[in-house]
């Protein structure tokens, strides 16, 4: 199958592109390299530097490469930034997705996988969080994904587009050749590992007085390779109909647990400092992935925190400056 991967030079998109190639698919990567890295794109993939804000570019790519399916990762994705720049997220994320979807429908590309978010669930009524949980986005970023999910719902009814939305929690870990390299870096595990590498003095813990076993926030981490496999299974399962899937490994780990595990793996003391809570941080977020496990047979290969951090540490040791392209 020919698959167009938007944002395929980014952290998750590049790993998904690599796994698609490994699974025998032909991959076309579309990325504007705003956040992505050219070196992260698999050699076997066709790379097109383009911007989803340019509808003519999208039309040209679909006409030339004739993909049979689209995986859509490209988006601004920083929750905190979206609170400061809501128009950037509610504007660009939504309008760019609309450009892509309009072009897809026009060119009869009627299989679509959306990289969505757990930020749809700002006030869950039950834990772990299932697909039936009410949608209350926690930020303009989350709202932008919710809007795109509704686009897909209506495009199935009006144009027969088949889709899957994958709402995942904290992507983490690394593939041997691809890992996290963000500027700025805001994710806990790479930040902790930067301390071990001597690139930061200490790691900040935002609050230690939450209603959790050790007082720090609990999150559900999912290995990026397991995440990529879920996207591929969802694509291959579209013949059964459109679906919504929540993705996590079903286990929550606290900030203190992440830091302590990183200390054990790296052999570094990793000084930590408790700072005030961040506004909007829920105490616990853990996914129920029962649906995708049962319907598609998805099973995480890296369910343990130790394995997730170990693969990330190996990548960061080998790439202390990331892709070294900034």
Q: pLDDT of the chain along its 326 residues, tens only?
A: 999 999 999 999 999 999 999 999 999 999 999 999 999 999 999 999 999 999 999 999 999 999 999 999 999 999 989 999 999 999 999 999 999 999 999 999 999 999 999 999 999 999 999 999 999 999 999 999 999 999 999 999 999 999 999 999 899 999 999 999 999 999 999 999 999 999 999 999 999 999 999 999 999 999 999 999 999 999 999 999 999 999 998 889 999 999 999 999 999 999 999 999 987 788 999 999 999 999 999 999 999 999 999 999 999 999 999 999 97
Domain CATH for 281: 3.90.25.10
Q: Are residues 33 and 74 in the same domain?
A: yes
Torsion of the alpha carbons at 213, 214, 220 and 226, rounded to the nearest 10: -110
**141 is known as an active-site residue:** yes
Domain CATH for 99: 3.40.50.720
Q: Are residues 99 and 196 in the same domain?
A: no
Q: What is the pLDDT of residue 281?
A: 85
Q: Are residues 126 and 241 in the same domain?
A: yes
Q: Are residues 145 and 8 in the same domain?
A: yes
Q: What is the pLDDT of residue 250?
A: 86
Contacts of 318 (CB under 8 A, 6+ apart): none
CB atoms within 10 A of CB 297: 9
- 139 domain residue, yes or no: yes
Distance CA 4, CA 72 (A): 8
pTM attached to this predicted model: 0.97
Max Cα separation, the chain? 57
- 102 domain residue, yes or no: yes
- 304 domain residue, yes or no: yes
Distance CA 21, CA 111 (A): 18
Q: What is the bridge-based pairing of β-strands 162-168 and 243-247?
A: parallel
- 34 domain residue, yes or no: yes
List 11, 76, 89, 141, catalytic entry: 141
Cα–Cα separations (whole angstroms), residue 111 to 10, 22, 214:
21, 20, 44
- 160 domain residue, yes or no: yes
- 324 domain residue, yes or no: no
Q: Are residues 112 and 235 in the same domain?
A: yes
Q: What is the pLDDT of residue 202?
A: 98
Number of domains in the chain: 2
- Which residues constitute the domain of residue 275? 188-219+250-286+299-318
Q: Are residues 199 and 57 in the same domain?
A: no
Q: Are residues 228 and 115 in the same domain?
A: yes
Q: Are residues 8 and 33 in the same domain?
A: yes
Q: Are residues 204 and 310 in the same domain?
A: yes
Cα–Cα separations (whole angstroms), residue 117 to 104, 160, 187, 297, 301:
22, 24, 15, 21, 21
- 294 domain residue, yes or no: no
- 136 domain residue, yes or no: yes
Are the CB atoms for 189 and 309 separated by under 8 Å?
yes
Q: Are residues 64 and 110 in the same domain?
A: yes
Q: Are residues 112 and 208 in the same domain?
A: no
Q: Are residues 89 and 164 in the same domain?
A: yes
């Amino acid at each position: 199958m020919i698959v167009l991967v938007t944002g395929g030079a980014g952290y998750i998109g590049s790993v998904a592109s690599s796994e698609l190639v490994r699974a025998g698919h032909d991959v076309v990567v579309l990325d504007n390299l705003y956040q992505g890295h050219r070196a992260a794109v698999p050699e076997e993939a066709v790379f097109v530097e383009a911007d989803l804000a340019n509808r003519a570019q999208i039309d040209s790519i679909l006409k030339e490469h004739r993909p049979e399916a689209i995986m859509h990762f490209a988006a601004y994705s920083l929750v905190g930034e979206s609170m400061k720049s809501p128009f950037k997220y509610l504007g660009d994320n939504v309008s760019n997705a609309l450009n892509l979807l309009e072009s897809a429908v026009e060119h009869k590309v009627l299989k679509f996988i959306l990289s969505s978010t757990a930020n749809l669930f700002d006030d869950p009524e039950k834990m772990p969080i299932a697909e039936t949980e009410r949608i209350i986005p926690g930020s303009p970023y989350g709202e932008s994904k919710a809007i795109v999910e509704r686009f897909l719902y209506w495009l199935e009814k009006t144009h027969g587009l088949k889709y899957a939305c994958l709402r995942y929690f904290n992507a983490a870990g690394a593939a041997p050749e691809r890992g996290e390299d963000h500027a700025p870096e805001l994710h806990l595990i790479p930040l902790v590992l930067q301390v071990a590498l001597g690139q930061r003095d200490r790691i900040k813990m935002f609050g230690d007085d939450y209603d959790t076993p050790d007082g720090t926030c609990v999150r559900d981490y999912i290995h990026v390779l397991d995440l990529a496999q879920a996207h591929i299974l969802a694509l291959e399962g579209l013949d059964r109909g459109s679906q919504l899937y929540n993705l996590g490994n079903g286990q929550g780990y606290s900030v203190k647990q992440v830091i302590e595990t990183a200390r054990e793996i790296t052999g570094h003391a990793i000084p930590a400092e408790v700072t005030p809570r961040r506004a909007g941080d829920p105490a616990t977020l853990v996914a129920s992935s029962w649906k995708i496990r049962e319907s598609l047979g998805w099973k995480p290969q890296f369910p343990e925190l130790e394995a997730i951090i170990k693969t990330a540490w190996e990548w960061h040791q080998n790439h202390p400056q990331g892709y070294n392209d900034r």
